[in-house]
Amino acid sequence: MTFNIIIFNIFICTFDIAILIIFYNSIFTQRYEKIPFLIFIIPFILEQLIGYYISNLFSLSTGDNSIYMISIISTLNVFCLTFLYKSTFKIRIFAAFSYQILCSLAEASIYIIFSLLPPKTSKLLFSNNTLCLAASKIILFILIITATLILKKKRNQLLSTPYSFLVLFMPILSIFILITIPDVPQSVIFHKLSDTIIIIGLMAANIINYFLLDNILKVNELEISKKQLKDQLEYQSKKYLLLSTTYKNSRSIIHDTKKHYHYIIDCLHKQNYDEIEGYLKNSINEMEYTFNRINTGNLVIDAFVSNHQMVAEQNNIIFKTNIQVDLDNIQIEDYDFSIILGNLLDNSYSACSKIMAPKRREIDVEIYTTDRELVIHLSNTFNSDSTKSGEHEILHGFGTENVNNIAIQNHGSYSSFIDKNMYHAVVTIPCNIDIHRGKPADKPVIKGEVYLNEPSHN
């Protein structure tokens, strides 16, 4: 075996390890991080050595079953490597067989491609085992990258068409370059070595190109996540400012009420009875404008629902409320509660504000508690054109992800659906968990009765 063949075989094994890791990273969400990378890579090297030994061993056999034995042993080796990642048994089986199927498709594809070329070129290519092996590996790389892009697209909406094009452009270009490499007689050692270097360079460029583009994508994702985190922080700060303002308004009204009482007492002493009636009417109007119209005793509910009710009515949006809560069964922190309720109310208002008159614009807010849970059910009309994409969550923006995360953190759940031309969002947060532990949970019942623009009832 010549020196350039040894170098080529070593690089082929390295290329196989790289594309296998890329394939596993796309299927499995996470590997065992406690395993250092140097130890993590050792099983992949052993898998290549075992595969190389088995292939040479069975290549000497003349039996018809040798190809099947090589495939079975290769599949078992690949399956064993899946235990370096966190996953279920079914997905491990799927990953091992999928990889073997892709390998078979790659070999079949390169045979078909070379066969479609002119007979003279096809004969020269098939006679060059090194070139055939390199071409089949690059075809395998194309298939794996395609599968990876499909999986990434489902998990990550940020994946763009230009990124997919750039990732696939290099391996496809490499196939065309390999086909143009002329067959050089064995005696010309320099040319054979230069061809091997070119082939190795093309394969290395493909791997480097992929990882560079993948890192650029990750940086882009981090930038977008950073912006969303900043926006959410600003949003939460505004909501807490709303709570603070509501509390200050409540204190201010108590202080102003004392002054009202003193004025009324003064008018009684002076027997100015006519002035009392007008003064009380003005005071009532002012109080209705500045004080919460929703009074449950829970600061988050009272502040957020009252504020959105006032804004909705000012913009001719019907705002219905049905709030019946036991304060002892609201066991979620005010900070988390404000994010959930604030996001849902903002999203409902945003969806309604996009509806053009004379179409119906309505928001229904239902919040109630049982002895097991707090249920927050918001429904609203929406522009039906916004659901043509089939992704209902587009109606409610990226804030729904925060709602879902906080609900899960509080052992609750978030769901959404469309029914009777209304978009529904439901959040349930359990309460009294220790009391009901081990008992079957009652399914939450979504009540139908609502009170139109009336104070809520405890």
In order, the DSSP letters of 143-154 are HHHHHHHHHHHH
Q: What is the pLDDT of residue 320?
A: 92
pLDDT digits (tens, 9 = 90+) for 217-261: 778 777 777 776 676 666 666 666 665 665 555 555 565 666 666
Which three-class secondary structure state does DSSP give residue 86? Answer: coil
Q: What is the pLDDT of residue 367?
A: 94
Lowest mean pLDDT among 92-106, 120-134, 441-455: 441-455
Contact 156, 225 (CB under 8 A): no
Give the number of residues written for the chain: 458
Q: Average pLDDT in the 199-212 region?
A: 87
- pLDDT band at residue 412 under the 50/70/90 scheme: very high
The token duo for 148 is 């990876």
Q: Whole-angstrom distance between the N-terminal and C-terminal Cα of the chain?
A: 87
Q: What is the pLDDT of residue 368?
A: 94
Distance CA 136, CA 138 (A): 5
Q: What is the pLDDT of residue 159?
A: 63
- pLDDT band at residue 435 under the 50/70/90 scheme: low
Residue type, 193: L
Lowest mean pLDDT among 86-90, 129-133, 149-153: 149-153
Is it true that the peptide bond before 358 is cis, omega within 30 degrees of 0? yes
Residue type, 270: K
Sign of CA dihedral 145, 22, 20, 148: negative
Q: What is the pLDDT of residue 447?
A: 40
pLDDT digits (tens, 9 = 90+) for 279-296: 777 766 665 555 556 778
Of 368, 369, 380, nearest in space to 425 by CA: 380
Q: Average pLDDT in the 105-122 region?
A: 87
Residue with tokens 């048994």: 89
Q: Average pLDDT in the 119-142 region?
A: 85
Q: Average pLDDT in the 420-448 region?
A: 69
Alpha carbon distances (Å) from 267 to 119, 262, 276, 285, 383? 113, 9, 7, 20, 55
Average pLDDT over the chain, rounded to an integer: 77
Task: Write the burial class of residue 364 (CB in 10 Å: 0-12 exposed, 13-18 middle, 19+ buried).
Answer: buried
Of 455, 131, 452, 144, nearest in space to 296 by CA: 455
Q: What is the pLDDT of residue 219?
A: 81
The token duo for 111 is 């045979």
Provide the percentage of residues in the chain whose pLDDT is more than 70: 73
Q: What is the pLDDT of residue 405?
A: 85
Contact 427, 376 (CB under 8 A): yes
Contact 218, 25 (CB under 8 A): no
Q: What is the pLDDT of residue 452?
A: 37
The token duo for 355 is 């509806």
Lowest mean pLDDT among 24-33, 291-300, 338-347, 394-403: 394-403
Of 59, 60, 179, nearest in space to 110 by CA: 179
Would you put residue 71 in left (φ > 0), alpha (ψ -120 to 50) or beta?
Answer: alpha
The torsion angles phi and psi of 182, rounded to 5 degrees, stand at: -75, 155
pLDDT digits (tens, 9 = 90+) for 349-379: 888 988 887 888 999 999 999 988 999 999 9
Q: What is the pLDDT of residue 389?
A: 40
Q: Average pLDDT in the 147-166 region?
A: 72
Q: Average pLDDT in the 15-26 region?
A: 88
Residue with tokens 């498709």: 105
Q: What is the pLDDT of residue 257?
A: 66
The answer to whether residue 31 scores a pLDDT higher than 90 is no
Q: Average pLDDT in the 262-291 region?
A: 68
In eight-state DSSP terms, residue 350 is H
- pLDDT band at residue 440 under the 50/70/90 scheme: low
Q: Average pLDDT in the 326-352 region?
A: 88
Contact 7, 134 (CB under 8 A): no
- pLDDT band at residue 198 under the 50/70/90 scheme: confident
Lowest mean pLDDT among 14-18, 28-32, 179-183: 179-183
Q: Which residues contact 104 (CB under 8 A, 6 or more apart)?
A: none
Q: Average pLDDT in the 80-104 region?
A: 89
Q: What is the pLDDT of residue 457?
A: 37
Provide the percentage of residues in the chain whose pLDDT is more than 90: 13
Q: Which residues contact 388 (CB under 8 A, 6 or more apart)?
A: none
- pLDDT band at residue 449 under the 50/70/90 scheme: very low
Alpha carbon distances (Å) from 307 to 156, 314, 363? 35, 11, 13
Q: What is the pLDDT of residue 385?
A: 67
Radius of gyration over alpha carbons of the chain, in Å? 34
Distance CA 280, CA 411 (A): 48
Q: Is the pTM of this model over 0.75?
A: no
Pick from 168-182, 332-346, 429-443 the range whose average pLDDT is largest. 332-346
The answer to whether residue 278 scores a pLDDT higher than 80 is no
- pLDDT band at residue 448 under the 50/70/90 scheme: very low
- pLDDT band at residue 437 under the 50/70/90 scheme: low
